[in-house]
Chains A and B, each alone.
Chain A
Amino acid sequence: MGLELSFFYVFAAIAVVASALVIGQRRPVYSVMLLIASFAALAGLYILLDSPFVAVIQIIIYAGAILVLFLFVVMLLNAPTEAGPWERLAAGPRRSGIVLGAVLAVELGWALWHVPMTREPVGAGASGQTIESVRTIGQVLYTDYAFAFEVTSLLILVAMVGAVVLAKRHV
């Protein structure tokens, strides 16, 4: 088993286990902490995929900014511990939720099974060419995707104003 494959399995196991525990935790604080672990493992996978830019974004923006925001809200609200995630498992909506989740898993597995090209090693499609430099990403971002990039700034502005208005006590 190659070194790359071992690293992949280690990171994948961390990501899956941590994500599953996020769902299973009663306390939101533990959930957020476990999600940070999961995202760190995903950043490792992005390194394996020769995409250091995305890996750094994952750590700085996701783990560093978004999840810290979650942590602040959890502490701010002093949220009551949920009665127990699995206690009302027999309730109707929850049972259909499990069924729907199982159906989704089967569908995704079926789709993966029927895609022919994916048995090759990743990176085989494009003559071993990799996009590692931030310069390449920036050039495409500011030319081909310039309009989407500008609209993104508008989206962030709207989200900022919306968050302030929504969370304020008296507008």
Chain B
Amino acid sequence: MVSLDHYLALSAILFTIGTMGVFLRRNMITVLLSIEIMLNAANLSLVAFGRYWGAVDGQIIVFFVVTVAAAEAAVGLAIVIALFRLRESLDPDAFTSLKW
């Protein structure tokens, strides 16, 4: 029988992978993809907890998370497009005008 532990452990692994992606990658599209991985890891633990307690709220919060993820992807990708027009690059290190 699959225990809640299994799902939480998988969620933790996925979240760590997403975090490492944000830290290690130098491509803004891949960084956004890593953020999606982290959101999905959170979703998995929400659904697992909802199943555990027999509550509907977990699935509803997942619904909101998906909506926010869609909005985040749309705006984030628009910013990526605008930045790419500016510097012809997707490397975050190319955008350091505000650094001092």
Q: How many residues of B contact A (CB 8 A)?
A: 71
Q: How far is the CB of A55 from chain B (nearest CB, A)?
A: 9
Known: A108-B12, A109-B12, A156-B70. A48 touches B2 (CB 8 A): yes
CA distance A140 to B54 in the complex (A): 14
CA distance A66 to B70 in the complex (A): 6
What's the interface size class on A, roughly? 35 or more
Cα separation A58 to B14 with both chains bound (whole Å): 16
The answer to whether A22 and B21 touch across the interface, beta carbons within 8 angstroms, is: yes
Within 8 A of A (CB), among B41-100: 43-44, 47-48, 50-57, 59-60, 62-64, 66-75, 77-82, 84-85, 89-91
Q: Which chain A residues border B34 with CB–CB below 8 Å?
A: 22-23
Asked if B23 contacts A101 (CB within 8 A), the reply is yes
Taking the closest CB of chain B, its distance from the CB of A145, in whole angstroms, is: 6
Q: Are B69 and A62 in contact (CB under 8 A)?
A: yes
**Is there an interface contact between B70 and A61, defined as CB atoms closer than 8 Å?**
yes
**Contact flags A53-81 to B (C-beta < 8 A → 1, else 0):** 11001100110011101100110110110
Which residues of chain A have C-beta atoms less than 8 A from B6's C-beta?
Answer: 8, 12, 122
Q: How far is the CA of A73 from the CA of B73 in the complex (A)?
A: 11
Segment 22-39 of A: residues with Cβ below 8 Å from B: 22-23, 25, 28, 31-32, 35, 38-39
- In the bound complex, do residue A141 and residue B63 qualify as a contact, i.e. CB atoms below 8 Å apart? yes
Q: List 21 A-B contacts (CB under 8 A).
A: A28-B27, A45-B10, A46-B44, A57-B66, A66-B69, A66-B70, A79-B27, A80-B89, A80-B90, A83-B26, A101-B23, A108-B15, A112-B9, A120-B4, A126-B54, A131-B56, A145-B64, A156-B70, A159-B70, A159-B71, A163-B75
For the complex, give the distance between the alpha carbons of A155 and B67 in Å.
9
Closest to B73 in A: A66
Known contacts A20-B17, A121-B1: does B52 contact A69 (CB below 8 Å)? no
